[in-house]
Amino acid sequence: MKKILVLGAAGQIARQFSQRLLAETDMELVLYGRNISTRLAALKEDRVSLVDGTFQDQKALMQAL
């Protein structure tokens, strides 16, 4: 199964993109951004991982990849 990392996942376009991927594919999603675990808690399911971090946090980015 393919996995996609969505950066800035709490943004409007990223949310729409993520919802469409979940509806139309069998891909796993890694949603990354500030306070994602609280902002996108409703999207949490078997195929979705939520990772809190910023773009400057290289360690968190590498772990998300």
CATH superfamily of 3-64: NAD(P)-binding Rossmann-like Domain (3.40.50.720)
What pLDDT, on a 0 to 100 scale, did the predictor assign at position 55? 87
pTM (2 decimals)? 0.87
Work out whether the CA dihedral 6, 8, 10, 16 comes out positive or negative.
negative
What pLDDT, on a 0 to 100 scale, did the predictor assign at position 63? 86
Question: Hey, where are the domains in the chain?
Answer: 3-64
pLDDT digit string (tens) for 5-64?
999 999 999 999 999 999 999 999 999 999 999 999 888 889 999 999 998 988 888 888
